[in-house]
Amino acid sequence: MSIKFKFTAFVLFLTLGFVSCNEKEVPQKPNIIIVYLDDLGFGDVSYNGAKKLKTPHMDAMALGGMRFNNGYATSATCTPSRYALLTGVYPWREKRAKILPGTAPLIIGTDQMTIPSMLKQQGYQTAIIGKWHLGLGNGNVNWNQLVSPGPNEVGFDYSYILAATQDRVPTVYIEDGKVVGLDPNDPIEVSYKKNFEGEPTGLDNPELLTMKWHHGHNSSIVNGIPRIGFMKGGEAAKWSDIDMADHFLNGVKKYIKDHKEGPFFLYYPMQQPHVPRTPHPRFEGLSELGPRGDAIVEADWCLGELKKTLEAEGILENTLIIFSSDNGPVLNDGYYDDADVKNGDHTPWGPFRGGKYSLFEAGTHVPFFTYWKGKIQPGVSDAMVSQLDLLSSLAQLVGSDVRTDDSLPLMDLLMGKSDQGRDELVIEATSRTAYKKGDWVMIPPYKGPASNDNVKIELGNDSDFQLYNLAEDIGQQNNLAESQPEKLQELLTAFEAIRGDGYGKTEKLELK
């Protein structure tokens, strides 16, 4: 072998080795999964101190990743929070972003930027499997034909959803705009105005119920459970409530296996522990809290199964998981299911005041963690972060320049590489808004009852301004509005710079 040939072969070997090393160094875009629970409170997880139920899978991922003591939904109710999460836009900017009936039109514009549409631009496959509740169609849906526009028109390549909530009609699954298992000879009719002739209701036929309604849930009966709204037909397509968690989980597992070559984005909005609470019988009694607690245990198991699937497919180390809840907790939210009776000394709201529907802290201060095996080191952060920030942050992660005015790029914080979060946040509850800046919370005066008697939650309404320092008063018991008027004015000015002055207050602030 000549010296020239040896030298050429050696150079070729080094070149191939260099190319190979460079290929290994090119970062692969991670899979991204957002796991979104429904009405899970800050204190409903054992890693935050819950004693009456155990959430070992949530605990393991929270303690193995970055958990945020100051993680926030944007709203104390579901539809607005889901709108903000996917669009990176404050929900009060969209007047239709309120708790929607099952017949509501789609409230996200088909030309609007969303997390899935941004990620599609970066080569991701995108899917939603679970609860939607952001409207479908144009407001006049024929459920027996293609239901559009919907998730597939706002960035999702694949969708398998329930249209609204488990307690609202239509009680069917919808895959890529088509009702699953629909018999064309038994068409679906849905109305939120009046019942269909001859159809039983929870109000008129209590003898048919396996779950009794407490307030608001007394219309059409499906599987012995009275719902909100009226529905006729579609018998073969109706879901089984107790199998819903398994049903969505099986879809999630299949999606992961089919798309393991990645990259994929999966939005997995679970229905637990929203009413009606119908955990599978194998979870009954696993908490001390009745069906609500058992539903949380079931959701925890689902999270564990998700992780097992990622491990089995060899992609756990290349998957970022973001976990949170759409709003704070509620016990009796329309049915007699012993959630309030069996609650005992359990504090689903954690150390905070209020809950779902409330402007007080427990309405939007929710469990929030990120997990990425081998990439995110275990840690805890006191920095403020909102679900609003996920669009800009994930864009930052994948190299997209997409941003919104409301969504901050906080990927370093989510990865545990920074302690810099957001300084201010406007929170919302049933069209009322309040303002957080650092440790301070300012709630403007609002007309209306101080509490919701049905759900027994303080709403945060008061005829006067409220000002709280959470660093000294986490339970918001000491209103400092009168004693610290300068601080109140400072927060009000900053709030109005974002919100404007037409936010429904009942009086102007007068410094005393």
Query: How far are the Cα atoms of 39, 104, 201, 290 from residue 336, in angstroms, in the given order?
Result: 17, 27, 17, 11
Calpha distance 29→98 (Å, rounded) = 35
Asked if 415 and 430 sit in the same domain, the reply is no
Q: Does 59 reside within a domain? A: yes
What are the tens digits of pLDDT across the range 110-161? Answer: 999 999 999 999 999 999 999 999 999 998 999 999 999 999 999 999 999 9
Calpha distance 427→495 (Å, rounded) = 11
Give the type of residue at 277. R
Which CATH number does the domain housing residue 158 bear? Answer: 3.40.720.10
Token pair belonging to 257: 């296996």
Dihedral angle of Cα 191, 197, 203, 206, to the nearest 10 degrees: -130
- Per DSSP, the three-state class of 332 is coil
What are the tens digits of pLDDT across the range 161-205? Answer: 999 999 999 999 999 999 999 999 999 999 999 999 999 999 999
Q: Does 75 reside within a domain? A: yes
Calpha distance 221→216 (Å, rounded) = 13
- What local confidence, expressed as pLDDT, does residue 39 receive? 98
Q: Does 13 reside within a domain? A: no
The answer to whether 172 and 161 are in contact (CB under 8 A) is no
Q: Which of 500, 422, 509, 512 is nearest to 466 (CA)?
A: 509
Asked if 257 and 289 sit in the same domain, the reply is yes
The answer to whether 228 and 167 are in contact (CB under 8 A) is yes
Q: Does 506 reside within a domain? A: no
Q: Does 291 reside within a domain? A: yes
Calpha distance 42→364 (Å, rounded) = 9
Asked if 209 and 99 sit in the same domain, the reply is no
Q: Kindly indicate the confidence band of residue 5, based on its pLDDT and cuts at 50, 70 and 90.
A: very low
Question: Which range, of 52-56, 57-61, 207-211, 498-502, averages the lowest pLDDT?
Answer: 498-502
Give kind and range of the element (H or E) at residue 58: helix 56-64
Asked if 145 and 249 sit in the same domain, the reply is yes
pLDDT reading at 446 higher than 50:
yes
Domain that holds residue 106: 31-182+238-419
Strand residue runs (E) in 139-284: 158-162, 173-175, 178-179, 189-191, 221-222, 225-226, 230-232, 264-269
Q: How many other C-beta atoms lie within 10 A of the C-beta of residue 358?
A: 30
Of 5 and 391, more confident? 391
95 burial (CB, 10 Å; 0-12 / 13-18 / 19+) is: exposed
| Total count of domains within the chain | 3
Asked if 284 and 270 sit in the same domain, the reply is yes
Is the backbone peptide bond immediately before 187 cis, with ω within 30 degrees of 0? no
Asked if 151 and 173 sit in the same domain, the reply is yes
Asked if 291 and 431 sit in the same domain, the reply is no
Asked if 178 and 213 sit in the same domain, the reply is no
Give mean pLDDT, residues 454-460. Answer: 97
Asked if 201 and 306 sit in the same domain, the reply is no
- Please provide the size of the chain in residues: 512
What are the tens digits of pLDDT across the range 60-70? Answer: 999 999 999 99
Token pair belonging to 426: 């406007």
Asked if 136 and 254 sit in the same domain, the reply is yes
Please identify, among 371, 399, 419, the residue that sits at the C-terminal boundary of a domain.
419
Which CATH number does the domain housing residue 463 bear? Answer: 3.30.1120.10
Please identify, among 172, 202, 232, the residue that sits at the C-terminal boundary of a domain.
232
The answer to whether 396 and 103 are in contact (CB under 8 A) is no
Task: State the SS3 of 167-200.
Answer: CECCCEEEECCEECCCCCCCCCEEECCCCCCCCC
Give kind and range of the element (H or E) at residue 296: helix 291-312
- Per DSSP, the three-state class of 12 is helix
Token pair belonging to 29: 């875009």
Give percent above pLDDT 70 in the chain. 93
Please identify, among 232, 267, 299, the residue that sits at the C-terminal boundary of a domain.
232
Calpha distance 204→219 (Å, rounded) = 9
Strand residue runs (E) in 216-309: 221-222, 225-226, 230-232, 264-269
Is the backbone peptide bond immediately before 263 cis, with ω within 30 degrees of 0? yes
Q: Does 88 reside within a domain? A: yes
Q: Whole-model pTM? A: 0.93
Asked if 258 and 389 sit in the same domain, the reply is yes
Dihedrals φ, ψ of 222, to 5°? -130, 125
Q: How many other C-beta atoms lie within 10 A of the C-beta of residue 481?
A: 21
Q: Does 340 reside within a domain? A: yes
Calpha distance 327→364 (Å, rounded) = 5
- Per DSSP, the three-state class of 325 is strand
Q: Does 457 reside within a domain? A: yes
The answer to whether 479 and 467 are in contact (CB under 8 A) is yes
Q: What is the DSSP letter of 342?
A: S
What are the tens digits of pLDDT across the range 30-51? Answer: 999 999 999 999 999 999 999 9
Of 367 and 4, more confident? 367
Asked if 224 and 114 sit in the same domain, the reply is no
Chain mean pLDDT for the chain? 94
Q: Which of 182, 205, 186 is nearest to 195 (CA)?
A: 205
